[in-house]
Amino acid sequence: MRSFLKESDFSKDEAEEVFSLAQKYKRTRSARPLDLLRGQSWGMLFFKKSTRTRLSFEVGLHELGANKIILNSSDLQLSRGESIEDTAKVMSRYLDGLVIRAYGHDVVEDFAKYSSLPIVNALTDTLHPCQSYTDVFTMMEYFSKDDYVSLDSIKGKKFAFFGDTDCNMSYSLALAGAMFDFDVTLCGPESCNPSKALDKLLEESKLQKSYTFISDAKLAAKNADVIYTDVWVSMGKEDEIESRKKLFAPYQVNSNIMACAKDEALFMHCLPAHAGEEVTQEVLNSKASIIFDEAENRLHVQKAIISKLVKS
């Protein structure tokens, strides 16, 4: 059974089909309900708290016709020592698919290994592929010249990510850039530059390394088409709040950074945003900010990802 654990689990052509379908779903959402998953039951397994992930997947599965079952890891026998292998095999007898938001990437890999279900990676500490696909789709909406989204519209665009560049979002965006031919600049302190794990992911995905890392924020923003940032303190690192605020302060996205980018540059953030930390309220409220279009598009893109998996 096919799963979506990382960006390269779809080929570039298949990903383009996903984006086209996402646009169709977005345009026809008010039309009659879909029945692609009618009669199916899908689980949503959460090891981490969530707002956008839970809402977008729960609404999306409903709109595709599925019965959805919300599962908190702490409520399952997993929390008492049952193995992922046994849990996955049991779930395979009940469910038709499973969406997982976890800490370790090995969790989604093990569920895919031991179950007979399509597994969708809704986020791990290593990758966030549903978000990066959403970001690509959102960029395509803004840069495409006609009514239909096209990957050609983002080819060669400069995408600059600021903050902790050794995180799931920076890794996923680097993979997406390599897949879809846009230039990714990762900008942050030298102590948090991407580890060799990112290069290994690119190698395993048979993608050429195409990202660059620099620590000069203004140079990273120069002539950028998209400025992107994420929270400085991810779940599980709450004990590092003060030290991380101090470390990443020079990489805050503010009016000075946006002024270095192209005049028509977009600002993106996967949310939640902490105004006054990784980004100023001024930038969040600016005309460059497309964060709520980006958030909405999680729904449409994830519906398309699930549709592609079940049709494969």
Let me know how long the chain is: 312
Distance, CA of 126 to chain centre: 11
| Cβ-contact 77, 88 below 8 angstroms | no
Query: If you classify domain 7-127+295-311 with CATH, what class do you get?
Result: alpha beta
Q: Mean pLDDT across the chain, nearest whole number? A: 96
Which distant-in-sequence residues (6+ apart) come within 8 Å of 155 by Cβ? 180, 181, 182
Query: Residue 149, exposed/middle/buried by CB under 10 A (0-12, 13-18, 19+)?
Result: buried
Q: Which is nearest to 230 in space by CA: 17, 12, 33, 52?
A: 52
SS3 294: helix
CA atoms within 13 A on the CB side of 264: 4
pLDDT of residue 12: 97
Q: Is the pTM of this model over 0.85?
A: yes
| Cβ-contact 104, 115 below 8 angstroms | no
pLDDT of residue 30: 81
| Cβ-contact 48, 103 below 8 angstroms | yes
DSSP run (H or E) holding 268: strand 266-269
In order, the DSSP letters of 53-66 are: HHHHHHHHHHHTT-
Q: Which tens digit of pLDDT belongs to each residue from 21-34?
A: 999 999 999 877 78
Under-50 pLDDT residues of the chain: none
CATH topology of domain 131-292: Rossmann fold (3.40.50)
Query: Residue 84, exposed/middle/buried by CB under 10 A (0-12, 13-18, 19+)?
Result: middle
DSSP bridge partners of 186: 161, 213
SS3 305: helix
pLDDT of residue 34: 86
Domain ranges of the chain: 7-127+295-311, 131-292
Q: Which is nearest to 194 in space by CA: 219, 223, 215?
A: 215
DSSP run (H or E) holding 133: helix 129-143
Rounded (5°) CA angle 86-90-91: 115
In order, the DSSP letters of 194-207 are: --HHHHHHHHHTT-
SS3 100: strand
The encoded tokens of residue 163 equal 């903050």
- DSSP letter assigned to residue 83: -
Q: Which is nearest to 177 in space by CA: 222, 141, 218, 226?
A: 226
Helices 129-143 and 168-180: crossing angle, nearest 10°? 50
Q: Read off the amino acid at residue 282.
A: E
| Cβ-contact 42, 61 below 8 angstroms | yes
pLDDT of residue 115: 98
Q: Which tens digit of pLDDT belongs to each residue from 227-279?
A: 999 999 877 777 888 999 999 999 999 999 999 999 999 999 999 999 999 99
Q: Read off the amino acid at residue 245.
A: K
Q: Which is nearest to 39 in space by CA: 95, 86, 100?
A: 95
